[in-house]
Structures are given as structure tokens and as C-alpha cells.
Structure 1
Amino acid sequence: MRKLSRKGNQASSVQAKKGLLGKLIIDPKEDAFNYDEEDSVLIQQLNGTYMLNGSTNDLNIDAAPGSTVRVRMINATNDTDTISVNGAAYRIIAMDGHDLNEPGLLDNYEFLINTINGKSFHEIPPMIVEEGDRVKITILNAGGGNHPFHMHGHVFRVLSRNGQPLTGSPVYLDTLLTQKDETYEIYVLADNPGLWMMHCHDLMHASMGMSMMFNYEGIATPYRVGTKSGNLPDL
């Protein structure tokens, strides 16, 4: 399964809050996990009001006793939301549309995930790569707050957190929550030539300059950003 959320690209910090988003679920040919029922929950804010699947009402998911339910949670807000399951044990079986390997059982466990290198978007030099490069990026949240690191055009593997290598299932993501004083190392295979954004997925943070580019050598664009051109993405 691959989760996609559709948002306006030019001013997503404004447009997403006005409802320009949605969910698209692509079922795999073969499921890696067995379950009896499934549902999906899109968490969003519309003009400052929290909604679940487009409604301000409580959301109920009906299930028979003893059945197994797969719930896909999509957080399309700019906030970090804490999700918990009470009254039943559960497993986190996928993250960002990538299945986990042999996920363990959890019980009543809560889970989560404006500058870059001291500069804002237009002043940050792009990260230049060539196709086929294997790139290790270190992400340090030194300023505090919740900053979900998001990368366009690629998925990355999380190698370590605070100097400790991850164990168990490999974790592949396109968005990684970072919190104060956390340091992550991620691995990216440069296999999709283009000019790609990397930014904080709190879109207000992105609109205030917390964005940069991941560019492939030899690829250019006639388009320019800035006040002179009038092209101000997400501002």
C-alpha cells in the first residue's frame, strides 16, 4: 500500500488549511498482513477546526469481537498529533506506506514522530548529487519544537537516532518527525533525477523559510523563485 495526500504545491500552507487535500489508497497485489476489516482516517484542520474524514463528528469504526482491523492514519494537519489505542493491543504495521518487518505487539502505548543551518530557503545552497549516489544526511533539531523532515521524490532509510543504530525492521520513510536535541542519520539513494524540495512538513514553518533543495547535477529549470520573478512557493 502506498499512501498519498494531495495538496496544492504553490501555496500549500494556505490551501491545505482550506481543504485542498485528500487520500488515495492503492491496494497491493498481495497483502503482507492478514486482517478482517479495514478503514482509513484522514486528520485535517479546516479553517482551524479539527476534522476526521471531513467531519467534526466523532468517528466510529465498527468491528466484531475477535476480529482484526487495519486502520490507516493520515495526519494532514500542521500539528504533531499523539495517537493511542485503549482497550486492545495493536501493531504498527506500516509507516509512510512501507510495511514493517515482523512488528511487535504494543499495548496502550502512545506514539508520535525556522531555519536550516542558520539560513532560510532562498539563502540555503542546494544539496547537489549525481544519479546513483548513496547519500547520508544528518538531521539535528537544535532549535526545539516539532519539525517533520520531508523529502520529495525519494524515500529514505533511517539509520540511527541520537547515535544509536536502529535495530529490528528497516524503517523507510518520506517524512521523519524530529524533536528538540534529536539527531538522525538517514540514507538516500539518488535514483530519481530532478530538482526536489526538502522541508519541514509543518507547512507554516516551510512558508517561513524552512525549506531547501535536493538537486541532481546537470538538471536545470528556467523558472526562478523570489520577489523579482513573482514566484513565491508556499509564501
Structure 2
Amino acid sequence: MPPSPSPSPEAAADTVQEGTATLPQPKAGQPVKGFTLIATESNWKLAPGVTQAVWTYNGTVPGQEIRVTQGDFVRITLKNELSVPVTIHWHGYPVPDGSDGVPGLTQDAVKPGETYTYGFSADVAGTYWYHSHQESSAQVDKGLYGALIVEPKSSEQPDKDFTLILDEWMNAGGDAHSAHGSAGMSDEEMMAAMYNIYTVNGKSGSLITPLETKPGDTVRLRFINAGYRSHGIHIPGEFRVVSTDGQDIAEPAVLKDQIVTIAPGERYDVELTIDSQKDFTIDAHDNNKYNDQLVIPVKVSGSNGEKMEVQHDQLTAFDLLKYGKPAESELSKVQKFALEYTAVLNSKMNGNQLVYTINDKVFSELPALQVKTGDYVKLTFENKSAVDHPMHVHGHFFQVLEKNGVKVESTVMKDTVLVKPGEKIVVAFKADNPGNWMIHCHELHHAAGGMAQQLVYTDYKSSYTPPTNAANKPE
């Protein structure tokens, strides 16, 4: 059976009021895992000879990995020691509304010196991540992100499990967030030149930590794209893509000589077996300018430095929408949707500023999409612009139904889908997580430039009321 759309994780949990949000509480006897994340400034060595002032959770880039077991109740306290407000959004995880971390929609941004507590049941195993949603294009740029891993409660674990967060940085002195709208930084070539350091887990080039393995190991690689560019990843030898955006893929076939493209916000879990006593590298194959920095060494014990030979001229592109065993799903059988909405994605000049639009309007001009609990929702993303738009829906998993008018045979569940120029992609989900949510492009400069819209449940009343004077900046 395919994975079901997002559950309502806190349906059975009691709640208490804390500050301006309703904080869920664990059920009787539920294991509780507690974490404290401190937003603070630090200096971080990104690349040989390059150390920059960064913003961090707990002093490192990425921030502390939150790794829990399915069934745990997760409680995270955010302490803000920065000079600006921050939040934490749990990207891809169907948290209850009050823990989604969107300032002005689910909470006030956490001001300097303040704390805020998030809570949710980790009922859905998979690879997720967290990041600030306050001025996210600027704050994620500066390092405010980390991994959220929910391990399955009952399944065989791999011998080695590695989290690999991809990102891009500017080599000091620039501010893409402010420059983007006012100085033409939306130009794809100029942005590509500005972001000239590519990192894996906060390190570039020779500073990337090798993955230590031995012959016979089963290895799980959890790729997370926290950056603004898509990255085409090549893994030598045979592998399987077992999960995307935290959702397992039914009967994934063995792949070889294929490039897996990971768009901003997406996650791909790959499994392989070390069947050679030779070292190898995982690297990037696409049109990005600084791919030579994105090389992940895999060390195999006993190799004596001998390396696997790879024929790069034989690589083809992996197509997720044609992968995995097709299966009947609840969403593929829906005959009538309560809401059908087409979002035409584009850009235009607003005075001397380039803005990114949905149906020719920016975020502040767009009405909220309205649903009620139990509704089936169909969204069509149509990209009429010249650049990619990875579209992300908060609080829900959706099924990809069609691409460019062709039905998708595989049962693919996601929370972020890449819509390339000229493409039209249809997705559907069940409205089963009451709250007020965001839909936006996860090229975060585009979201900051207007490509975002709210989705609200008309039968839900939030315990949070946005004040009129708060410095909430959700994108």
C-alpha cells in the first residue's frame, strides 16, 4: 500500500496554552525526547581559507540534528540569542498548526532574549529538516537550519546512516536577500555567480567529511537540499531511491548510472551496499558553476586508497514519477475535489523591482485558499516563468497526479515538487491537518519576492491572534 497522506498527529493529545500558541502534550506513557536549540552567532569555516560570520542553532552549521524514534513526543525549546527575531519551521513534517513556525500565521517571531517551545508526536518516519521561517531567504542563507530524522520504530536499520545537507553560500560581503529585489539579483546567471561556495553539512571541497564504511555495509544516505539551487547527485554503482520527502517508495528498483536531481526543500533517501573494497566519491553532475566543490568522499576500510573507476559519459537522469510500483491510492480514486485551484507561476517588474507571482499577484494581494477538514484538494502548478519553482505545501503530503497532461502511474507522495519552466504539475491531498498553512516556492528568494499563498481551514480556530505591531516577516 502507498503511504497515506498526512495524519492529524495530535488528534488524541491534550493541549495546554503557552504564550500565544497551543502547545500539544504527550499522551499517557508516550516517550518524550527534549531538545534545546539556541539561535546564536558564530564564526564558521566553510572552505579552505574561508571563515564567515554565520547564524546557527547551537553553534554549528547545520544545527544540531534532531533524531528521534517513531512514536516519540518531541519537545524543542528555541532560545533566541541573536539580535533579530527568529522561528523554527519543521519542513515537511505534518506538525500541529501551533508548531509550524510561520511568524504572523501560527506564532509571533521569537524576539531576542525570548524562548518558544514547539511540540509534536513523531508519528511519521522519514527525513525532514528544520529552518527559520522569519525572513527565511536571509536567515537560512546565514545558516539557520538542521536535520529532523524520525527513525521507523520497527524495521531493520542500515549499518551506516548518513545525513547530507546541501547548500550554497556567498563568499563574504554580499546580501542576496536585500540585493535580490533592488539590484537585479533575480537574474539567474548573477545569482549563480554570487553563490560561489557549495557545501555538504556546512563544509566545502576538501573540508567535506568522508563517509567511513566497510565492505558489506548497507548504507542509507539522507540528502536534504537547504539551498536555492537544484543539485544533480551521482552515486557510483548500484543503489535504490527508497524515500522522497519522508515518504517511502513502493518496491524501488535498483538503479545504476543515474543522476538524482534534488530541488530546494526536497529530500531523497538512497540505500546501497558497499560491494567493493575501493573508495569512491559522490559528486554533482548538472550545469551548476561550482560542482567541483561538491564532492563527498566515501572511504572503504581496507581499500589502501584504491579508487573505483566511473564512466561519467554514460549517466542518465532519474525520473521519480516513473519509479516505484504503481498502486491504488485514496487520492487517485477521488472523483470530485472540494477545491480545484490553478497557480500560474511567473514574475514581473513592479516599478524597478522584480517580483514573483501566483496568478499575477504577490503574497500580500492573494486571498487565502479555503478548505474544511475532510476536503479533497487539487492544486495545479503551471510555470510560465523562465526559472525553476520548487513548490512546497506546509502541513500535508500530496500525491503527484499529472505532469504536462500525462497521468503519473507511480504513487508518488511529496511535500515539495519541482516545477520547471513550461511545466504543469497537478497534485492532490486530503485536508486532514486543521490549521492555517503556507504554500510557497522554496527557492526562498522567490517566496520573499511574493510567490506564496495561505491555505486556511474554515472549520478551525487558531489559539493565536496576530498582533498588529509585531515584526513578523513570514518569508
TM-score, length-scaled by structure 2:
0.46
Match in the other structure for 2:466:
223
Q: CA deviation at 1:34?
A: 6.3
Change (3 A) 1:128 1:98: same
- One-letter code of the match for 1:90? F
Note if contact 1:224-1:231 (Cα within 8 Å) is conserved in structure 2.
no
Match in the other structure for 1:22:
146
- One-letter code of the match for 1:144? A
Note if contact 1:194-1:215 (Cα within 8 Å) is conserved in structure 2.
yes
Q: CA deviation at 1:4?
A: 2.5
Q: How does 1:1-12 map to 2 (within 5 A)?
A: 1-12=125-136
Match in the other structure for 1:50:
198
Alignment partner for residue 251 of structure 2, among 98, 102, 119? 102
Alignment partner for residue 427 of structure 2, among 186, 193, 200? 186
Question: Residue 117 in 1 paired to residue 359 in 2?
Answer: yes
Q: CA deviation at 1:102?
A: 0.4
Q: CA deviation at 1:146?
A: 1.2
Match in the other structure for 1:70:
220
Higher relative strand content: 2
For residues 438 and 445 of structure 2, what CA distance do their matches in structure 1 show?
Answer: 15
Gaps of 5+ in 2: 1-124, 171-194, 264-355
Note if contact 2:129-2:149 (Cα within 8 Å) is conserved in structure 1.
no
Higher relative contact order structure (alpha carbons within 8 Å, sequence separation ≥ 6): 1
Q: Find runs of 4+ consecutive structure 1 residues off by over 6 angstroms.
A: none
- One-letter code of the match for 2:414? L
For residues 95 and 144 of structure 1, what CA distance do their matches in structure 2 show?
Answer: 26
Gaps of 5+ in 1: none
For residues 151 and 224 of structure 1, what CA distance do their matches in structure 2 show?
Answer: 25
Q: CA deviation at 1:133?
A: 0.2
Alignment partner for residue 80 of structure 1, among 211, 223, 230? 230
Deviations 1:20-60 (A, max 9, x none): 111121211123x7643221111123454322112221342
Note if contact 2:201-2:208 (Cα within 8 Å) is conserved in structure 1.
no
Identity %: 35
- One-letter code of the match for 1:26? V
Q: CA deviation at 1:229?
A: 6.9
Question: Residue 145 in 1 paired to residue 387 in 2?
Answer: yes
Q: CA deviation at 1:16?
A: 0.8
Deviations 1:163-207 (A, max 9, x none): 121223x21111111101111111110011111000000111100
For residues 67 and 164 of structure 1, what CA distance do their matches in structure 2 show?
Answer: 39
For residues 200 and 471 of structure 2, what CA distance do their matches in structure 1 show?
Answer: 36
May I ask how many residue pairs the two structures share in their alignment?
A: 229
Between 66-75 and 191-200, report the one with greater CA deviation: 66-75
Q: CA deviation at 1:109?
A: 0.8
Change (3 A) 1:231 1:41: closer
CA RMSD for the aligned pairs?
Answer: 2.1
Note if contact 1:42-1:52 (Cα within 8 Å) is conserved in structure 2.
yes
Alignment partner for residue 39 of structure 1, among 153, 162, 180? 162
